[in-house]
Every structure is written in C-alpha cells, then in structure tokens.
Structure 1
Amino acid sequence: MAAVAVSFALVVWLASSVTHTNGTQRTYYTVKRGDFLISVVEGGTLRALNEFSIRSEVETMTKIISIVPEGSSVRKGDLLVQLDSSQIKESMDSQEITLESSRFALLQAEQALAIQKSLVESNIKDAELRIEFARSDLEKYIKGDWLQLKNDSESRITLADQDLERTRDRLEWTKVLHQKGYATKSELQADSLALKQKEVALSQAKEAQQLLIKYDYPKKRRLLEANLESYEKELERLKQRSAGQIAQSEAELAARRRTLALQQERYDELKKQMALCTIRAPSDGLVVYSSSTSGSYSSILIEEGTSIRYRQEIIKLPDVNQMVIEIRVHESHITRIRPGQTSYVTIDSMPESRLKGHVHKVAVLPDASSRYYNPTLKVYATEVLIDDPLPTELKPGVSGRAEVVITNLHNVVAVPIQAVTSVKGEQVCFGKEAKPIPVEIGLYNDKFIEIRSGLKEDDNVLLAPLLAESDEIDLSGSIVPGTEYEADRKSTGKKRKPVTKGAAIQNKSVVPRPPTPLQALQQPLKDLRRAARPLEPPLAALRQSAVRGAPGAPTGHATNTVISTGRTSVQSP
C-alpha cells in the first residue's frame, strides 16, 4: 500500500520532467537514461530481536510487593519483582516439622530392621544347634548305646547258659552222690531247683534280647530320627517366617524412606517457590509491563498489590541493543526478497537519521492476520535487523520504514511505472501519436521501470494509458490472449465459445501470466476501493445532507471521494 501511495504522489514530482500538449491536455514524459535504485520500501514497527518474558513461577496466587518502575533499564541480575512469600513461609515451617517426623520414623524403621535381623539370626543358630544335637544323639545311639545294649544282652545270655551247664553238672554229680548215700535228698532237690532257676534265667535273657532287638532298638532309633527331622523342619519354618518378618521390616523401611523423600521433595519445592518470589533480570534490557503491551481491556494492571496467578506474564524485557523492524511485503515483491540483503531503516520520530541493516528473516507463508479485512491481500512478514548502533532514546514499538535494496541499475533507460500498460497481453507505452509502442521491461521499483528495448532517449510517452480512447488496453491482463485462442480453435477444428478476461480455456491447461508491474501496484488500490464500497451509500447521504445545509451551496452535483491510503490521500472518481 505504501508503494501505491508513493507512486501516486510522484505525479506532482514528475511535473519537472513532463511535457503538456494543448489540445487534449495529455501529459508526456521525456525518456531519459540514468541510474536508479531497485528497492522495496515498506513501513513497519520496531521491536527487539531478543525479548524475555518474565512470568510468575509461583504455583499459588500471590501479590506484588515491589516492582521496578516501567521504562527502567536494568542489568543482568538486577531485582525486578518481589512477590509476597508469607503463605509459602508458613507452609515451609509446617513442612519442616513433618520432615523431621519422617526422619525419626525412618530411624525407627532402620533400628527395627536391625533388631529383627539379629533376632532371626539367633533363632536360626538355636535351631541349627538343636539339629546338630539331635543328629549327634542318633549317631550315638546307633553306633554306641545300641551296640552296648546288644553286647550286654548277649553277655547275659552267655553267662546264664554257662551257669545252666554248671548247675546241670552239679545236679548230675549230686544224683551220683545221692545214690551212693553221700548226698541227702534235700541237697538233690536243691540242685534240681537251682537247675530250673538257671534254665528260667537263660530263657529270660534270651527273651530280653529278642525284645531289645525287635522293639526297643527300632523305637529308640525312630524317636531320635523323628526328633532330628522335626528340628530340621522347624529350621525351614523358622527361615521362611524370618524371611517374611525381615521383608516386612524392609518394606516398612522403604515406605519410610519414600515418605521422607516425598516430604523432602515437598520441602525443596517450597524452598524453590520461596526463591521464585524474588525475580531478577535474566539479561540486560528495558522494563515494559505486560499490561502496557497486551492491548486488551480485560488485562490486569501491573502495579504493587496486584494479585498474580501462576504463569501470568508480568514484565517484558526486550534487549534494546539489537532491534528489528517488522514489515509486510506484498506478494508482487516477495520473490526478490532474500535474507542477507542490505537494507536501510528510517524511524518516523527521527527522520533525519538512517540506519543500515539487513534482511534477517522472510516468512514462508503469507500473514493470515492481514487477510482478515481483505481476503485477497497477500503480504509476507519480513524482519530487517538493524546493524548500526542504535540511539539510546530508541524504544520498541515505534513506527518506521525499511528500504530493502534489490540492486542498483546504471545507465539504463527508464520511464515512470504508470507509463507502461498492457495491450493484448503485451507491455506497451503510448507515444506522441497515441499509438502503442511494444516495449521489453526489466526491473522496477515503486517509481520507475527499466525499458530494455522499444524506447530510446528523448522519446515522449504518455504518463497515463488511454482508457477512454482505446478499447484494446487491458489493465487487468488476460490469461489467454486472443491470438492464442484463435490458433487453438483452428488447430482443434472446433468452434468454441469466447472466453472472458481472467478465465482459462476449457480442457486446456494454461499457465496464468504474471501480473505486470502496474497491475501489481494497482491491485492494492483496487482492494482498498472494494473494501470501502459498503461505506459509499452512507457517505453519499452525509455529503448530500451537508451540501443542502450549507448556504448558497449548489445541489445535484456529484463530488469526489477522498480515500486515505495511510501516507497519501488519493482521489477516486
């Protein structure tokens, strides 16, 4: 839009280089050869290249106790904001008590685990000792006591048998003596009784041996083996029971440790929140309150005593040492803009100074916000970084202009850009006799366009196309010229319907021609007129009422409408 406005404003400046004719009041321009700069000039807003957003990281609502005055220049580490930390301090005191309780509970759990392990170790040793004694008793009985009992039994049987033989021999001898009269009958009877006693003693000894082998030995051995087995099973049960008790104690200890860790983490978080109540500058910059840049009526005023929520922006801290100007380049120029191109920036509040810079960034897609009021407008956000030292009084947000230098043409033929128009798809200029002169155009800026062939120095060309005198002039541009359409119709042998301007021939893929420089400059003005069309009826009514109310004012005459394009006012019929 700025380029269109400047091109219309050039009409007055070109008065020194034009020639007027008396009949039709046509304005001509004398073709010259010279140098001119190819550049793109757009207006924009200055902002910092690097900007820190200072937000409240305190997770609860808090209030601003103190804040650095807006507009102050701060250094890295300077105090910016002090938030209220009284509630956090109370929570920290309570949490510290809870933390100490958790530490004591952990100490108790550690001691309980140590005691449980010691007790288990003692019980297992006692059980193992009982098993050892039981195994020793079994071995002692089998290899010691049983053999001794068996030998004693066999000895008693042997002695009883020998006593029986002696008693039997004595009885035989007593019988012989009794027959010879040397022994009495009572002695015979006594020896007979002694023999029976010895026989009974031998029988008892043998019976005792049988009972010992058949019953006492197996019983005693099985009893000792059962004791050993019982002690071994008791040891297994003790180990399992002890393992469960130790696991329970370890789980209790782990729970206490986890509880202590959670309480410590909570205390550390409160400590961190306490530290976050003091906000310091992360870098050098200019203090700007967020309420000054939000642009919303519902924004909260940043001042001392204001309640601040979590993650709410408090301050913007732009680094004023490096700044860029954000401009929006029209789609007709964007293909010539590249990062790194030399640029010159002028600030509206300091028009006498010019700062050198370069293109820092070019958007890949058009800016969607610029199409809200005008859907056909396609502009690309572009950043120009200022390389020269910045004045100390320069602040972000001021308006300015950036001129992106494309190239500098030397000793070329050039005419004002409005002198070139399109006739049947060809670029032409109109000479003295109002006849179209085909020209080959080159580069252009918002003022002049290069003529590579078709014109020479000192030729005169019309500054405006003959809209009223020539019906062949095509300012909108046809996608398919008439000659191409006729050639296509004859080659196919079919009669086709005429194609209106701006429409493609059916069943044929046609690549649209790029807009001419004049069309590219006229399109924003057409878009502006289209956007202002709904306002024409109420404006006309206001003008008529104003004219009728003025004393001596004429009635029934049309008036011209003045359309503002930002920097230049352009009259439209």
Structure 2
Amino acid sequence: MNRSKRVAALLAGILVVWVGFGPQAPRAGERQPPERSSRVLREAKARPPAGSVDLRCQAEQPTTILFVVASGESVKKGDLLVELDASPLIDRRIQQVFQTRKTETDMIVARETQHWEKQAAAGRVEIAQKALRLAQGHLKAYTEAEHPQQLALAEGTARLARERVMMAEERYVHLRAGLTNEKDQDRRVLQEAQLALEEAKLQGHAAVGTLASLKDFGHANRVAELELGVAQREFDLARAQDALAAATARGGAVLQLAEISHQMEADRVAKMDDQVAKCKVYAPQDGTVVHPSDAGEAALRPGAVVRSGQVLLRLLPVTQPG
C-alpha cells in the first residue's frame, strides 16, 4: 500500500515538472521553426503589419534584376536588397555626357561670339560718332569763322579794286587831257595808262564776283555740302547703332538658346544619374524581407524583368505580433 502511494506521488511530480518546463515559445533572437516562419510570412503578405514598408521599382523603364535578397531574410538598415541592371542606362549616359559637352562648347562659342561681335559693333559706333563730330566741326568752322573771314577779305578786295579803278581812270583822263602832241613817247604813256585802267576794271569785276559768290550761291552751296556731310555721318551713326543693337539682340538670343540647350542636356544627365542610383534598393530600416505574392507578379529572381512602380519587396519591422 505504501509502495502504491510512492509511485503515485512520483508520477504526480513528473507531471508537474512537464507542465512547468514543457514546450516553450522561441525567445527573441532565436530562429523560429520553418513552419512558424512560413506562417508569419504568409500572414504578412496577406495583412501587412504596422510599420512595414513596400519597396517599389523606381526605374522608369522595364529593368532586369541582377540581385535580390531572399524572402524571409533579416536585414539591417542600409543593406543592399535589390540591384537592377543599370548597364543600358550607363551606356546612354556616356552618349548623353558627350552631347552635354558639345552643348557646353556651343554655349562658350556663342558667348565669345556675342562678346566680339558686340565689341566690333561698339567700335563702329565710336568711329561713326567721331566722324559726325568732325563733320559738325567743319560746318561750324565754316559758318562761324571761315566764311566770315572770306567775306571780309572779299569785301576789302572789292573795295580796293574799286579804288584802283578810280585811280587808274583819273590817271588815264589826266594823261589824255594833257596830251598836246603826237610824240610816240607820250602816246605810249597814254596807252599804258589805258591798259592799267582796263586791268583795274577786270580785277574789280573779279572781286565783285567773288564777293557776290560768298554772299549768295557759293556760300549756300558750301553750307549745303557741309550739311550733307553731317547728315551722312548722322546716318552712318544711326546705322552703326542699329547694328550694335542687332548684334546684342542676336548674340543674346543665340547665347540664351545655347544655355537652354546645355541645361536641358545637363538635366538629362542628372536624371540618368538618378535612375542609375535607383537601380540599387537599400533597406530603409531593420526588418525582414518578404517577396510580393500577387498572382500577376513574376517571381523575383535574378534575370526577371520588373517594371516601374512594381512592388519589389516588403520590409517587415523587427518586432512582430505573436
């Protein structure tokens, strides 16, 4: 009887130990059994837990996968999760960089051309301005100095010529009145006086004509000639100024177009650099990787082609619900 009691007590003790130290849930950090891990992944695909992140393909064109982390892997923030084939983008980028360098050269040439054309046009404007000032100076010098001097000289010459005529005429009349005989010597003196009178009259007519010319037609023609020169220089200046404005506008337009073209090509290079960078997907946080489960999605493995916006991976947070 006592022996039966001892056996019963021993069985009861074993039962208590088994209940207290029986199958335990895996501790944090321990690998879960395969069947439990698969169950967790299936539940995460069906109902994403709070804090999970969907990582999508940001490449604009369909791209081939080179590397992808296996589903169920635990990763750290910054780990490489997916690498897409960026070689076609890199090849196109090389060509685009060459095109960008070409547009940069065109921009530099346009800037230098604008500078030299503008400088040359400005030089022609300066020359035209100097020519105009010179023509205006000639007109002013003639009307304010040269012509008055010529007029005063002509008036004085005409006055002297009239006096010479009067003196020659008086001498001739005096000699003719005093001629009493027909001596050759007296006749010769009279003839010389007559010739002097005629010469004085001719000089007087010339002086009067010069004076009249300075007062009327000659003066008007000279003024018109000088004014025409001024007008021509004004026209040359206006044309040079128009050429300068045209060169400035044309050079500015060409330079602006070259700058826009260069900026567009540089933006394309920057966009390609961004696309190349997006061919590598890194973990934004610690967690567990889950592959997408949509029926229409192709299996994520090296060699598979993914499209823009397609979900590549789902990253579950470290702490999972039980």
Which bracket does the TM-score occupy, shorter chain normalised?
Answer: 0.7 to 0.9
Q: Name the counterpart of 1:263.
A: 265
Q: Name the counterpart of 1:201.
A: 203
Deviation at 1:137, TM superposition (A): 0.9
Offset from partner CA, 1:225-248 (integer Å, 9 cap, x none) = 111111112211211122112211
Q: Name the counterpart of 1:93.
A: 94
Match of 1:306 among 291, 304, 308: 304
Offset from partner CA, 1:502-524 (integer Å, 9 cap, x none) = xxxxxxxxxxxxxxxxxxxxxxx
Offset from partner CA, 1:359-409 (integer Å, 9 cap, x none) = xxxxxxxxxxxxxxxxxxxxxxxxxxxxxxx5xxx4xxxxxxxxxxxxxxx
Q: Measure the CA separation in 2 of the matches of 1:250 and 1:265.
A: 22
Matched letter for residue 163 of structure 1: R
Matched letter for residue 301 of structure 2: E
Deviation at 1:144, TM superposition (A): 2.3
User: For residues 46 and 152 of structure 1, do their structure 2 counterparts lie closer, same or farther at Cα, with a shift above 3 Å needed?
Assistant: closer
Q: Name the counterpart of 1:219.
A: 221
Q: Name the counterpart of 1:233.
A: 235
Q: Name the counterpart of 1:484.
A: none
Task: Map residues 390-409 of structure 1 onto 2, 5 A cutoff.
Answer: 390=321, 394=322
Paired residue secondary structure (1:53): strand
Q: Name the counterpart of 1:555.
A: none
Q: Name the counterpart of 1:149.
A: 150
Deviation at 1:285, TM superposition (A): 2.2
Paired residue secondary structure (1:287): strand
Paired residue secondary structure (1:178): coil
Q: Measure the CA separation in 2 of the matches of 1:194 and 1:214.
A: 30
Q: Measure the CA separation in 2 of the matches of 1:287 and 1:264.
A: 37
Deviation at 1:263, TM superposition (A): 0.9
Matched letter for residue 87 of structure 1: P
Offset from partner CA, 1:328-347 (integer Å, 9 cap, x none) = xxxxxxxxxxxxxxxxxxxx
Q: Measure the CA separation in 2 of the matches of 1:246 and 1:207.
A: 55
Q: Measure the CA separation in 2 of the matches of 1:245 and 1:134.
A: 27
Q: Name the counterpart of 2:49.
A: 48
The alignment-based identity, stated in percent, is 22
Q: Measure the CA separation in 2 of the matches of 1:78 and 1:111.
A: 50
Q: Measure the CA separation in 2 of the matches of 1:266 and 1:306.
A: 27
Task: Map residues 152-301 of structure 1 onto 2, 5 A cutoff.
Answer: 152-179=153-180, 184-290=186-292, 292=293, 294=294, 296=295, 298-301=296-299
Matched letter for residue 156 of structure 2: S
Matched letter for residue 307 of structure 1: V
Q: Name the counterpart of 2:128.
A: 127
Matched letter for residue 274 of structure 1: V
Paired residue secondary structure (1:184): helix
Contact 2:61–2:308 under 8 Å retained in 1: yes
Deviation at 1:70, TM superposition (A): 0.5
Q: Measure the CA separation in 2 of the matches of 1:142 and 1:97.
A: 67
Mind listing any 5+ residue stretches in structure 1 that lack a counterpart?
A: 1-44, 324-389, 395-573
Paired residue secondary structure (1:305): coil
Q: Does 1:319 align with 2:321?
A: no
Contact 1:130–1:231 under 8 Å retained in 2: yes
Offset from partner CA, 1:417-465 (integer Å, 9 cap, x none) = xxxxxxxxxxxxxxxxxxxxxxxxxxxxxxxxxxxxxxxxxxxxxxxxx
Deviation at 1:169, TM superposition (A): 2.4
Deviation at 1:177, TM superposition (A): 2.5
Q: Measure the CA separation in 2 of the matches of 1:270 and 1:320.
A: 34
Q: Measure the CA separation in 2 of the matches of 1:261 and 1:73.
A: 43
Deviation at 1:202, TM superposition (A): 1.5
Q: Measure the CA separation in 2 of the matches of 1:189 and 1:260.
A: 99
Q: Would you identify which runs of 4 or more consecutive aligned residues in structure 1 move more than 3 Å?
A: 179-183
Paired residue secondary structure (2:216): helix
Q: Does 1:69 align with 2:67?
A: no
Contact 1:62–1:84 under 8 Å retained in 2: yes
Q: Name the counterpart of 2:23.
A: none
Deviation at 1:207, TM superposition (A): 2.1
Q: Measure the CA separation in 2 of the matches of 1:252 and 1:302.
A: 51
Contact 2:147–2:214 under 8 Å retained in 1: no
Q: CA RMSD in A?
A: 2.0
Deviation at 1:288, TM superposition (A): 0.8
Normalised by the length of structure 1, the TM-score is 0.46
Q: Name the counterpart of 1:111.
A: 112
Task: Map residues 480-559 of structure 1 onto 2, 5 A cutoff.
Answer: none
Contact 1:77–1:281 under 8 Å retained in 2: yes
Deviation at 1:186, TM superposition (A): 3.8
Paired residue secondary structure (1:315): strand
Contact 2:121–2:243 under 8 Å retained in 1: no
Q: How many aligned residue pairs are there?
A: 276
Q: Measure the CA separation in 1 of the matches of 2:177 and 2:250.
A: 92
Contact 1:175–1:188 under 8 Å retained in 2: yes
Q: Measure the CA separation in 2 of the matches of 1:185 and 1:238.
A: 74
Deviation at 1:201, TM superposition (A): 2.4
Deviation at 1:154, TM superposition (A): 1.2
Task: Map residues 417-436 of structure 1 onto 2, 5 A cutoff.
Answer: none
Task: Map residues 354-373 of structure 1 onto 2, 5 A cutoff.
Answer: none
279-288 or 143-152, larger mean C-alpha shift: 143-152
Contact 2:291–2:314 under 8 Å retained in 1: yes
Q: Measure the CA separation in 2 of the matches of 1:193 and 1:278.
A: 121
Task: Map residues 341-490 of structure 1 onto 2, 5 A cutoff.
Answer: 390=321, 394=322
Q: Measure the CA separation in 1 of the matches of 2:64 and 2:180.
A: 143
Q: Measure the CA separation in 2 of the matches of 1:66 and 1:117.
A: 58
Contact 1:48–1:320 under 8 Å retained in 2: no
Deviation at 1:208, TM superposition (A): 2.3
Paired residue secondary structure (2:281): strand
Structure number having the greater strand percentage? 1
Deviation at 1:255, TM superposition (A): 1.1
Q: Measure the CA separation in 2 of the matches of 1:47 and 1:121.
A: 73
Deviation at 1:224, TM superposition (A): 0.8
Q: Measure the CA separation in 1 of the matches of 2:56 and 2:202.
A: 116
Q: Measure the CA separation in 1 of the matches of 2:241 and 2:115.
A: 16
Deviation at 1:131, TM superposition (A): 0.5
